[in-house]
Structure 1
């Protein structure tokens, strides 16, 4: 069991879930299946770790968005060819 980031109870489990993400243009969203997630049996919250959110957001910026299908697995998304090596607009690190 993991500690839930929301309720802080030790009743969370690692899972793979489906998430929906809005593209940076705001004109389209995609379904990402089999996304690493945490689900808590105590509070019912299902969420992604900050690292996973950052990976998804960076990848969506770095790939050719015209080649994105409406539905994709997390692994397929992460393995897509990037147009740039890294997110040069991320000044957090």
Structure 2
């Protein structure tokens, strides 16, 4: 959406605990948003922090397109797919071992 509105200056930086187990897995610790209309996405980040939603889970939440909050889904998608590929590798190893 930023490209459509010719607002290409700015950034979103997510700070999260990589890895971990249980509630601490990929826990969002904070965020910095330097965009015009940052309020459109800060509420979603605040809710994720308050509820303990892991960062990679943002990728699985349906987001309207094109909106600024869709950027969160794209960003968290890279973490989600990285985790998914590691699980697939582990599954393949167990499969080869006969489990």
Give the TM-score of the pair, scaled to structure 2.
0.31
Larger radius of gyration: 2
Give the TM-score of the pair, scaled to structure 1.
0.32
Higher percent of residues as strand? 1
Q: Which has the bigger relative contact order, CA under 8 A and spacing at least 6?
A: 1
